[in-house]
Chain A
């Protein structure tokens, strides 16, 4: 059974304090590893898609990396507006490529 696990569940950072969020996955035939940001009461907002081990993508203060078992979302010098829940999801090699999500990491950045 496909499984995605995120850690930590919650993370408190001071503004400017860099850190990383972890996403471990067990999926038969990975089609893509996806990162989303979700603000309270809203739908997930797409951030990155990673397709193969060794791939990296960056956007502003965020950088996503992928290995054969894990993905990391690195946050460099975060700002309070980066506070949100970050969701990781794996798309499997099946007919529909439905996503299996982790439970999310709730990030709080204090000024």
Chain B
């Protein structure tokens, strides 16, 4: 399978803990995006990378969130001191021409 992959698929954590998610884009895609989706809503943009450069960040991305793409391949999204409001599906997408292709998502539950 050469699609976008994400790991883990599910994460349950206690409030205040740190969590890290990984995204592996489609290999030839140099643009990578992170979105967050809550139940019953459409995905909301968080941040965007072109190769290793983080070029855009949403106001939704508070100081507790950090994303990296160190070698322009896979990306990580870390949430520090998790809060219950962080519970959501975190989606990664990579882009070919104008179209973004999404991974299966990581569902986070903060207790």
Nearest CB of A to B21, in Å: 13
Interchain CB contact under 8 A, B104 and A99: no
Q: Are A44 and B43 CB-contacts (below 8 A) given A36-B102, A96-B56, A98-B48?
A: yes
Please determine whether B99 and A34 come into contact, CB atoms closer than 8 angstroms: yes
Band of interface residues on A: 20 to 34
Contact status A32-B105, CB under 8 Å:
no
Inter-chain contacts of B104 with A (CB < 8 A): 42-43
- Most chain B CB neighbours (cut-off 10 Å) among A96, A97, A101: A96
| Residue B98 at the chain A interface, CB threshold 8 Å | yes
A87 contacts B42, C-beta separation under 8 Å: yes
Most buried by B among A32, A42, A99, A104: A99
Quick one: closest A residue to B56, CB to CB?
Answer: A96
Residue B65 lies at the interface, judged by CB distance under 8 Å to chain A: no
A104: chain B residues within 8 A (beta carbon): 40-42
Q: Are A97 and B42 in contact (CB under 8 A)?
A: no
* A71 CB-CB contact with B under 8 Å: no
* Chain B contact surface mostly: strand
Q: How far is the CA of A44 from the CA of B105 in the complex (A)?
A: 9
Interface residues of B in 44-59 (CB under 8 A from A): 44-45, 48, 50, 55-56, 58
Is B55 within 8 A of A100, CB to CB?
no
What CA separation (Å) do A99 and B33 show in the bound complex?
10
Chain B positions within 8 Å of A43 at CB level:
4, 6, 91, 102-105
A103 to B104, CA, bound (A): 19
Nearest B-chain residue to A36, judged by Cβ: B102
The distance in angstroms between the C-alpha atoms of A97 and B43, with both chains bound, is 14
**A 67-102 to B, binary, CB cutoff 8 A, 1 in contact else 0:** 000000000000000000001010100111111111
Q: B102 and A32: CB pair below 8 A? A: no
